Amino acid sequence: MSAPTPRETFEAIPRKTLTFPYPTHIQKLERLTKRLGGATIWAKREDCNSPLAGGGNKVRKLEYLAADALAQGADTLVSIGGIQSNHTRAVTAVAVACGLKAVTVQEQWVPLDGFEGTIPISETEKSVYGLVGNIQLSRLMGGDVRLVDAGFGIEHKPSLANAVEDVKSKGGKPYAIPAGASLHPLGACGLLRSFLEIEAQEKELGVFFDTIVVCSVTGSSHAGLVVGAALEKFEGKKPRKVIGIDASGKEEATWKQVHFIASSTAKMLGLPAIEDSEVVLDARFNAGIYGLADEATLKAIKIAAETEAFITDQVYEGKSMAGLISLVESQEIPSSSNVLYIHLGGQNALNAQCALA
């Protein structure tokens, strides 16, 4: 019997279905395309992918981690993020859907006193920042939300390890999930599956997306798409470019983490090593800081909303949208291109900064 192909190896990885039972929709953004006057722009709507508390790319990733947690007999999902973390909201939702408990560590990743060149957060907004948006939904779903005074970082955090030990000390069976589900052996699988959907959808639409644009912070969404492109390269298919738009303000750490996750996933599937050139991270649009918008981010949020009722946020998608707009307008993405923007979700965070409207 011959060894399984990389695709067969991937398809054999257990997954618990938590998304809607069909590929996420690909939408042609005709008005935005006309507004920018360049490449034809499409969007894959991962923000609309699940019935669980708003969905998003984090639910897509957690399908694989949830299957693993259940197989291990865990009774509590334990994870970490910022106060307005989409990921911890998704972890709590997935725990509810799987009949598990959720403990989420919420660190102060966004400097509420501001950062040079960003849109100020008012005193009123500061007072409700830890009460609205994603963290409100986590509490509504019955999550055990624990606030910790620690700053932004995409690496493994000690506060997560502490929470895991606390659950163990009380007789629980925790399953640890790092920030964004990224530094986990299965973290890139969700967006790799999304990539494989794109291949089939292209045939139905009669289009080839030569460029894919995605936001990148903890790295596994970006990495999953990089692995998808590497898989196609391995199979001798037409090449395409994956561009990550940094939203971390710590682009060196993010690039290294994307490369590590993509490389680990490629090795797991039996693919050749990921080359440095395959991880493209554009750091021009991150506002210099995680979680806060500058004028370019705000402009992009408004353009997307005014042209397509396409809602993006100040933490993630507003920055990747700013990157997309600039790359199209400057012709860095040629006007002949069909570019696919991956909408990862994140809209709930808008509620925490009302001055962006």
pTM of the model: 0.97
Per residue in 85-119, pLDDT (tens digit) is: 999 999 999 999 999 999 999 999 999 999 999 99
Task: Judge whether residue 291 has pLDDT over 90.
Answer: yes
> What pLDDT does residue 315 have?
96
Which region among 72-76, 131-135, 147-151, 286-290 has the lowest average model confidence (pLDDT)? 147-151
> What pLDDT does residue 357 have?
73
> What pLDDT does residue 179 have?
96
Closest-CA residue to 293 (of 312, 315, 323, 310)? 315
Catalytic annotation, residues: 85
- Residue 146, beta-bridge partner list: 105
> What pLDDT does residue 356 have?
79
> What pLDDT does residue 75 have?
98
DSSP state of 290: S
> What pLDDT does residue 22 have?
84
Task: Judge whether residue 197 has pLDDT over 80.
Answer: yes
Total residues found in the chain within this entry: 357
Task: Judge whether residue 355 has pLDDT over 80.
Answer: no
Instruction: Report how far apart, in Å, the C-alpha atoms of 89 and of each of 79, 118, 168, 334 are.
Output: 10, 25, 22, 37
- According to DSSP, the β-strands at 26-28 and 40-45 are antiparallel
> What pLDDT does residue 270 have?
98
> What pLDDT does residue 83 have?
95
SS3 26: strand
Angle at 152 between CA 189 and CA 98, to 5 degrees: 40
Q: Could you give the dihedral angle defined by the CA atoms of residues 92, 98, 100 and 103, in that order, rounded to the nearest 10 degrees?
A: -20
pLDDT > 90: percent of the chain:
94
Q: What is the mean pLDDT of residues 234-250?
A: 97
Quote the mean pLDDT of the chain.
96
Q: What is the mean pLDDT of residues 122-136?
A: 93
> What pLDDT does residue 292 have?
96
Per residue in 303-319, pLDDT (tens digit) is: 999 999 999 999 999 99
Backbone angles phi, psi at 105, to 5 degrees: -90, 125
pLDDT band at 255 (very low <50, low <70, confident <90, very high): very high
Q: What are the start-end ranges of the E strands in 211-286?
A: 211-216, 241-246, 280-282
Per residue in 35-89, pLDDT (tens digit) is: 999 999 999 999 999 999 999 999 999 999 999 999 999 999 999 999 999 999 9
Residue 22: other Cβ atoms inside 10 A: 8
Q: What is the mean pLDDT of residues 261-274?
A: 98
Task: Quote the CA–CA distance of 45 and 48 in Å, as a whole number.
Answer: 6
Residue ranges and CATH numbers for the domains of the chain are 6-53+185-356 (3.40.50.1100), 57-181 (3.40.50.1100)
Q: What is the mean pLDDT of residues 161-189?
A: 97
> What pLDDT does residue 354 have?
78
